[in-house]
């Protein structure tokens, strides 16, 4: 028997995703009484994280609206859904290339501004040359980052007759196998920038990728090239992009991120963050978020967390499964296993993982784990949270949190 869980939706979440919630999950309007928060864009940076909260699932990729450090210290696992909206973004990138190559928007706006009448057809034939452009077939596209979105963009461009170059020193085996053999891999970013008519960036925003495309990279690009950014606004140095557009070195800048600076740029096509704005993408993100959060709450497995490492022991079937979330410092795991031994509890299976400052471990035991033992575990230095997830005799989960050696519940 699984514990009854409460879920709070802090934004509108796709009904298809909510239908995936198991029978032990109940929606509530009270976030303070919830085991799980489902969010999209809600700003949680200053939100109080209730003691009961176990997980936050973001139906999307970006998590800059979630206080990751505080969540980690309180043992709250934060999930996102990388790749769930990949096709929606990739399609929009292709559309961005077409918009940059042919003045589709200008032509459509001109027609809309004309007065209806019998002269319109003749006027259209006269003025259409003002909106002519170029085909993308035969042009060169450089894709920076060949992950969930990037490899789809590259493959789509190949199918449309473009010559595609790809740069990704960290490409995974999964996406390398999915990448078209017609994509030319390059080992130096400068080689891609110098060769391509279009450059599309698809890398995650981290401290080392902030301003990834700056003045030096723009100077390396072919004169009259088009830059597309459908990943994150801060990946490019906007001041340098604006200057390149002003000087005519960059023909177009196409982005999905509007702000008070870029809207003033000449020859920029700025969209209102439409990358994941499809019904299919919203459904996919919600379904993925719910599945991952349920697996964590019911079994302790972690997949696609941004603040704790991936870890899994499959479905919980032993009398007891214990999860320990802790700081990634030496000696914690050995202390935990010693305490199991001192309590006379054999460990049938265990797995541990660490990433950055956080770590976690799962233990399957053949006997019921008593509350007193779990509280003793949680009292150890650098333990963030202890969860007793499963037990047929005592099916209701208990959670114990230590705060600087203080009280737990």
Please identify every residue annotated as catalytic: 232, 260, 273
Q: Hey, what are 163's tokens?
A: 């010559």
- 8 A C-beta contact, residue 310 and residue 302: yes
Question: On the CB side of 358, how many CA atoms lie within 13 Å of its CA?
Answer: 24
Q: Hey, what are 249's tokens?
A: 């070195």
Q: What backbone phi and psi angles, to 5 degrees, belong to 406?
A: -90, -155
Q: How far is CA 259 from CA 61, 255, 256, 264, 271, in A?
A: 20, 11, 10, 9, 10
The Cα 284–Cα 109 span in angstroms is 34
Task: Report the run of H or E that residue 270 belongs to, with start and end.
Answer: strand 268-270
The Cα 40–Cα 258 span in angstroms is 19
Q: Hey, what are 200's tokens?
A: 């599309």
The Cα 259–Cα 277 span in angstroms is 18
The Cα 333–Cα 353 span in angstroms is 10
The Cα 297–Cα 205 span in angstroms is 29
Among the listed residues 320, 331, 314, the one whose alpha carbon sits nearest the alpha carbon of residue 363: 320
- 8 A C-beta contact, residue 340 and residue 361: no
Q: How far is CA 150 from CA 44, 157, 190, 208, in A?
A: 29, 11, 18, 19
The Cα 345–Cα 209 span in angstroms is 47
Q: What backbone phi and psi angles, to 5 degrees, belong to 90?
A: -60, -40
> How many Cβ atoms sit within 10 Å of the Cβ of residue 65?
16
Question: On the CB side of 221, how many CA atoms lie within 13 Å of its CA?
Answer: 30
- 8 A C-beta contact, residue 123 and residue 98: no
The Cα 361–Cα 368 span in angstroms is 18
The Cα 254–Cα 229 span in angstroms is 6
């Amino acid at each position: 028997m699984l514990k009854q869980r409460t879920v709070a939706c802090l934004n509108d979440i796709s009904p298809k995703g909510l239908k995936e919630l198991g029978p032990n999950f109940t929606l509530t309007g009270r976030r303070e009484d919830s085991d799980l928060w489902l969010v999209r864009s809600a700003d949680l940076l200053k939100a109080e994280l209730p003691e009961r909260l176990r997980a936050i699932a973001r139906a999307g990729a970006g998590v800059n609206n979630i206080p990751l450090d505080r969540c980690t210290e309180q043992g709250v696992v934060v999930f996102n859904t990388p790749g769930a909206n990949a096709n929606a973004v990739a399609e929009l990138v292709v559309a961005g290339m077409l918009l940059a190559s042919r003045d589709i928007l200008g032509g459509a706006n001109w027609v809309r501004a004309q007065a209806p009448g019998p002269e319109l057809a003749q006027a259209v034939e006269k003025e259409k040359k003002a909106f002519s452009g170029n085909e993308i077939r035969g042009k060169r596209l450089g894709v920076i980052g060949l992950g969930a979105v990037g490899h789809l963009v590259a493959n789509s461009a190949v199918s449309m007759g473009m010559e595609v170059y790809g740069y990704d020193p960290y490409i995974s085996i999964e996406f390398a196998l999915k990448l078209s053999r017609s994509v030319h891999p390059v080992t130096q970013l400068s080689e891609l920038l110098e060769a391509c008519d279009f450059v599309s960036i698809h890398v995650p925003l981290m401290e080392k990728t902030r301003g990834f495309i700056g003045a030096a990279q723009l100077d390396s690009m072919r004169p009259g090239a088009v830059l597309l950014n459908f990943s994150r606004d801060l990946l490019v140095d906007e001041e340098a992009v604006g200057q390149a557009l002003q000087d005519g070195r960059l023909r177009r800048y196409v982005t999905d991120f509007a702000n008070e600076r870029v809207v003033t740029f000449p020859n920029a096509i700025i969209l209102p963050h439409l990358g994941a704005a499809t019904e299919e993408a919203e459904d996919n993100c919600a379904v993925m978020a719910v599945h991952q959060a349920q697996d964590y709450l019911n079994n302790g497995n972690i997949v696609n967390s941004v603040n704790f490492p991936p870890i899994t022991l499959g479905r919980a079937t032993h009398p007891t499964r214990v999860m320990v979330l802790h700081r990634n410092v030496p000696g914690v795991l050995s202390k935990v296993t010693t305490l199991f031994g001192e309590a006379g509890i054999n460990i049938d299976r265990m797995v541990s993982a660490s990433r950055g400052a956080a770590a976690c471990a799962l233990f399957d035991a053949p006997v019921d784990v008593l509350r007193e033992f779990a509280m003793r575990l949680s009292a150890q230095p650098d333990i963030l949270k202890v969860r007793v997830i499963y037990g047929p005799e005592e099916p209701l989960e208990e959670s114990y949190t230590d705060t600087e050696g203080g009280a737990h519940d």
